[in-house]
């Protein structure tokens, strides 16, 4: 029996990696333009960190975390999302002392024991972004604008939905109104929603069941319960989006799966992956840093799922990110092989991506390999070419054969090859 990857864990094979690298470099480019800096944080953290931040009665903490007891008997967890451990690092290193406004991003894998489905894996990857140290609504608008720009530059489209979840002063009144609505409609709700009415009532609005959704059309809206300062904050956030001409809609039934959100929440929704699904989501978490033992500073962030971005890209474009090499050296005979060995080393040191064959295969078979490597050029090198001091450089796209001088030392061969590959 061969050993296979775990369910919900996926290899990203070389054919696909180009897309991932492209996504990451585009994202870094956008983040840097908006003043963000990268932070790299561990995958394993103390379990307590996630229980305290995400919330004990959330699906993630209740049933989705990869938690284990390590060899010292300590409970540790593989991060299920990106915010908590960035905040842990922010607090631990007192980053706010160095710079009052911190704009941080991290890119990497997250782990949740969910039922795997299209675009949802147990190890998944996120672009995760945080702005720490301000509750200015212009920052909320700017962050959503950046998420929107990011998708634009990926060549993807999604619609931005925005909501406010209020604050600890006004949310309890809404919760109360919602719970009484839910109790009044108990018989029409699914079992999950009935359970959540008692444990985490806001989450019922996330229910995907048609019957529940229909009921919730008449549920009270949180926007009618915002206190004056939350209302003002939400209006200013909207104004910021309008000022930057970012298209959005208000969805007052959007709640987020994590307990720590307050005020602004948002999702980027796409319908290109079958059912409507979020390709990115985020929100404000003003009490969270303090709740984790840090200074009393507000924060806001979002995350985008990279698997979904890759899926969306693969639907739109035809393999635009394949890896290619500059030069394949096809060698015929022992002397040519030895010369090719030296040449290819010199060419790589000059900055070109180059591959050769060591197995003494036929020219036809080596040309096939050159194509599989997506070589731009193939240099054909045999005893004849070495004797004549002239080789043949084949442009793999146009099939044109160009003579290349093999006079002088290997260094001048390199220059001759490079000058042709650069000009064409």
Residue 315 to residues 154, 309, 310, 311, 369, Cα–Cα distance (Å): 13, 10, 9, 6, 28
The 143-182 contact track toward Zn ion, x by CB under 5 A, reads -----------------------xx-xx------------
The 16-35 contact track toward Zn ion, x by CB under 5 A, reads --------------------
418 is an interface residue for Zn ion by CB under 5 A: no
Torsions phi, psi for 413 (to 5 deg): -60, -45
The 230-269 contact track toward Zn ion, x by CB under 5 A, reads x---------------------------------------
- Asked if 396 contacts 379 with a C-beta cutoff of 8 angstroms, the reply is no
**Residue closer to Zn ion, measured from CB, 84 or 202:** 202
Residues in the chain: 424
Quick one: which segment of 34-42, 76-84, 183-191, 276-284 binds Zn ion (CB under 5 A)? 183-191
> Which ranges of 41-184 would DSSP assign to H, the alpha helix?
47-54, 59, 83-92, 95-98, 137-154, 171-184
Helix 228-243 vs helix 137-154: crossing angle, to nearest 10: 40
Instruction: State the minimum distance, in angstroms, from the CB of residue 200 to Zn ion.
Output: 13
Handedness of CA 123, 124, 127, 130 (dihedral sign): negative
Instruction: State the minimum distance, in angstroms, from the CB of residue 233 to Zn ion.
Output: 8
375 is an interface residue for Zn ion by CB under 5 A: no
Q: Which of 76, 177, 179, 190 is close enough to bind Zn ion by CB under 5 A? A: 190
- Asked if 177 contacts 223 with a C-beta cutoff of 8 angstroms, the reply is no
Quick one: which segment of 210-218, 234-242, 313-321, 370-378 binds Zn ion (CB under 5 A)? 210-218
Instruction: State the minimum distance, in angstroms, from the CB of residue 197 to Zn ion.
Output: 10
Quick one: which segment of 24-32, 229-237, 356-364, 368-376 binds Zn ion (CB under 5 A)? 229-237
First to last CA, the chain: 50
Quick one: which segment of 58-66, 78-86, 205-213, 297-305 binds Zn ion (CB under 5 A)? 205-213
**Residue closer to Zn ion, measured from CB, 210 or 359:** 210
Instruction: State the minimum distance, in angstroms, from the CB of residue 276 to Zn ion.
Output: 17
Cα gap 379→404, rounded to integer Å: 9
207 is an interface residue for Zn ion by CB under 5 A: yes
Q: What is the DSSP letter of 2?
A: -
Report strand pairing: 325-332 vs 354-356: parallel
> Two tokens at 373?
């490597």
Instruction: State the minimum distance, in angstroms, from the CB of residue 296 to Zn ion.
Output: 17
* DSSP-assigned states of every residue in 246-274: ---EE-TT---SSTT-EEEEEEEEESTTS
Q: Tokens 């109104």 map to which residue?
A: 177
By CB under 5 A, the count of residues binding Zn ion is 11
**Residue closer to Zn ion, measured from CB, 262 or 270:** 262
139 is an interface residue for Zn ion by CB under 5 A: no
**Residue closer to Zn ion, measured from CB, 170 or 404:** 170
Q: Which of 63, 93, 183, 209 is close enough to bind Zn ion by CB under 5 A? A: 209
212 is an interface residue for Zn ion by CB under 5 A: yes
The 288-327 contact track toward Zn ion, x by CB under 5 A, reads ----------------------------------------
Quick one: which segment of 184-192, 240-248, 364-372, 410-418 binds Zn ion (CB under 5 A)? 184-192
Cα gap 119→317, rounded to integer Å: 17
Q: Which residues are CB-neighbours of 321 under 8 A, at least 6 positions away?
A: 18, 19, 21, 22
Cα gap 413→386, rounded to integer Å: 11
- Asked if 259 contacts 54 with a C-beta cutoff of 8 angstroms, the reply is yes
Quick one: which segment of 226-234, 235-243, 310-318, 339-347 binds Zn ion (CB under 5 A)? 226-234
Instruction: State the minimum distance, in angstroms, from the CB of residue 171 to Zn ion.
Output: 7
Spell out a b/e string for 215-244, using b for 16 or more CB atoms within 10 Å of the CB, else e: bbeebbebbebbeeebbebbeebbebbeee
Can you say whether residue 73 is alpha, beta or left, with left for phi > 0 and alpha for psi between -120 and 50 degrees? left
227 is an interface residue for Zn ion by CB under 5 A: yes
Residues that bind Zn ion (CB under 5 A): 166-167, 169-170, 190, 193, 207, 209, 212, 227, 230
């Amino acid at each position: 029996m061969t050993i296979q990857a775990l369910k919900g864990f996926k290899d990203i094979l070389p054919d696909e990696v180009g897309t991932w690298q492209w996504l990451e470099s585009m994202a870094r480019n956008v983040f840097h333009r908006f003043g963000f800096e990268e932070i790299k944080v561990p995958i394993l953290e103390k379990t307590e960190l996630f229980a305290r931040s995400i919330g004990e009665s959330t699906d993630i903490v209740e049933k989705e975390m990869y938690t284990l007891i390590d060899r010292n008997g300590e409970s540790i967890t593989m991060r299920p999302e990106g915010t908590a451990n960035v905040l842990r690092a922010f607090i631990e290193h007192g980053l706010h002392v160095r710079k009052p406004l911190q704009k941080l991003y991290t890119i990497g894998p997250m782990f949740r024991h969910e039922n795997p489905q299209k675009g949802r894996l147990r190890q998944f990857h996120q672009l995760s972004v945080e702005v720490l140290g301000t509750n200015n609504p212009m920052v909320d608008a700017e962050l959503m604008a950046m998420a929107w720009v990011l998708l634009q530059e990926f060549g993807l489209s999604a619609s931005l939905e925005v909501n406010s979840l209020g604050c600890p002063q006004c949310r309890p009144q809404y919760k109360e109104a919602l719970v009484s609505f839910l109790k009044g409609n108990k018989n029409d709700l699914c079992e999950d929603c009935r359970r959540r009415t008692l444990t985490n009532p806001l989450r019922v609005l996330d229910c995907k069941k048609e019957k529940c959704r229909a009921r919730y059309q008449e549920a009270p809206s949180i926007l009618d319960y915002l206190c004056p300062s939350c209302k003002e904050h939400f209006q200013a956030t909207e104004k910021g989006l309008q000022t930057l001409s970012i298209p959005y809609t208000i969805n007052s039934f959007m709640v987020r799966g994590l307990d720590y959100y307050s005020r602004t929440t948002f999702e980027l929704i796409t319908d290109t992956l079958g059912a409507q699904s979020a390709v990115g989501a985020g929100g404000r978490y003003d009490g969270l840093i303090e709740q984790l033992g840090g200074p009393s500073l507000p924060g806001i962030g979002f995350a985008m799922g990279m698997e979904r971005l890759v899926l969306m890209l693969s639907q739109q474009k035809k393999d635009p990110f394949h890896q290619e090499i500059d030069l394949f050296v096809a060698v015929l005979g022992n002397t040519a092989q030895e010369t090719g060995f030296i040449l290819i080393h010199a060419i790589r040191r000059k900055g070109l991506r180059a591959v050769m064959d060591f197995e003494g295969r036929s020219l036809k078979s080596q040309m096939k390999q050159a194509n599989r490597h997506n070589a731009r050029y193939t240099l054909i090198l045999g005893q004849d070419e070495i004797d004549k001091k002239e080789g043949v450089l084949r442009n793999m796209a146009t099939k044109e054969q160009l003579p290349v001088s093999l006079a002088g030392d290997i260094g001048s061969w390199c220059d001759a090859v490079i000058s042709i590959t650069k000009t064409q």
